[in-house]
Amino acid sequence: MQAARTQQCGPSRHHDSGINFEHANDSYFKYILNNWGVWTIPSGFLHLIWSCRRSGISFPSPANRAAYTADMVVFDEGRMAKLYPLMFSPVFKDYPWGGRNLEKLGRDIPDGIVAESWEIAGHNNGVTIVSNGEYAGKPLTALISGLGSDLVGSNYAWALERGKFPLLIKILDANQPLSVQVHPNDTYALENEGNELGKTEMWVVLNAKPGAEVILGVTKGTTLESFREAIAAGRLDSYLHHVPVKTGDHICVPAGSLHAIMGGSLIAEIQQNSDTTYRVYDWNRVDADGQPRSLHVDQALDVINFAQVEPELCPPKPLSKNGGVSRWLLCQNEYFTVERVTLEPKAVFAGICTGDSLEIWGVIDGSAMVNDLLVNAVQFTLLPAALGVFTVRSEDGATLLRVHHHC
C-alpha cells in the first residue's frame, strides 16, 4: 500500500494517492465511469462525489483503485487501520418460540430450539466475532474501541459516546408466536434501564408459511385503561391488531408499538442495539420447569403508543432503477434507513462510505460480491464508515438489504 496523505471529507479523514477532485473535471468523471467497469450510479452518489470534491477528498488513480476498494488503509492520528467488508460468526439464542429453521439458512446451530441468530451484534447479551480478514477472531466491541468513528460513522457519534454499536442485526425463526410486547424509546430506556437504548426495529419476511401474520398496534377504541383491564382479565385478543404477512413483506416497528410476530415466519430484523423488551402476554407458555416468563405490564403500559391504531403495512417506495440495479426504500427513521436493492445478472452497484455512516449489506436471495467478498443468502456484511468506494455486483442476480444512516 502506498503512502498517502490525509484529507478531509466531512467529519472523517480519508486519503489516497490519486487525483484530487478539486482539480478534476467532467471528463474525469466520465473516465472513472468508463474505466471502472459498467457502473450503475446510485442516487446520491454523484452528489456525494461533488460534496467530496468541494471538501477536497481525492480519489484513487485508476492504477490504485483495486487496492483502494479492496484493502483501504486509513491514517488517523498516526494510526494505520485496515478497513474492509467484515463478516461475523453469529450468536444463537434459545427462546421458547424458536425451532430448527435456521438450519435451512446454513447456520450451524446447536441442538434443541434456536430462536434467534444475532448476525451483527455488540451488546452485553451477545457479541459477534469477526470471521474474515485481518480482524478475524476479534469481537465487534473491540473493533468499536479500535476504529471508533471510522467503523460506525459520524452520524452515529451518539452511540459511540455511549461505547455502543448503534445497530443489531438478527434473523428470527418465529416457529411459534413471540410474546405480545413493546419496546421503550431512548428516553424511557435510558431513564429506567441503565445505559440501555430504546428499540426501534423493522422486519423483512424472508419466508412465511400460508396464514402467517404479525400483531402491530391496537384495535380501534383501545385505551390505556381498557387495555389494562384486558391484561388483568386475560382477554387481550380483541385489542390486538393482526396483519397478514407473506414472503418479501417488510414491517416498520417504531419504539412504542405493541407487536408480536406470530408463528410460521423466518424474519430478518434490523433494530437499534438494545435488548429491552416489555412483555404483556406470553400465550400462557411455561418453560421446562413449568415456569412462565416474567411479564412487565407496568413498564409496557408506560410506553405503548395507543395512538397507533390498526396501522397498515407501507409498500416499498421506489428510489431508482438504473442499469439493472433497482432500489426501494423500506423504512427510514432517526436511527437507520433500510433499502431493498435488486441486482440483475452482472449488474453492479457502486457506492461510497465517506465517513458519515457504516453500511450493512445483507443478501436475502442469490449471491453477490461486495468488493472481493462473496456474500450468499442469507448473510450480512458490515462496511466500515470510512471504507471509501465499494461495489456490490452479482453474476446471476441477487436481492439485498442495504442498511445505512447517511443524511
Q: Is 279 a catalytic residue?
A: yes
Q: How far apart are CA 324 and CA 342, in angstroms?
A: 8
Q: How far is CA 296 from the centre of its chain?
A: 27
DSSP per-residue letters across 256-322: T--EEE-SSEEEEEEEES----EEEE-TT---TTSPPPP--HHHHHHH--TT-BSPPPPPPEEEEEE
Cell numbers at 65, concatenated:
483503485
How many CA atoms lie within 13 Å of 217's alpha carbon, on the beta-carbon side? Answer: 16
**DSSP bridge pairs for 260:** 215
Cell numbers at 311, concatenated:
396501522
Q: How far apart are CA 359 and CA 300, in angstroms?
A: 32
Annotated active-site residue in 279, 340, 393, 402: 279
Question: Which residue type does 387 have?
Answer: L
By CB neighbour count within 10 A (0-12 exposed, 13-18 middle, 19+ buried), where does 330 fall?
A: buried
Q: How far apart are CA 224 and CA 63, in angstroms?
A: 64
DSSP category for residue 65: H
- The torsion angle over the Cα atoms of residues 314, 202, 145 and 83, rounded to 10 degrees, is -60
Residues with active-site annotation: 279
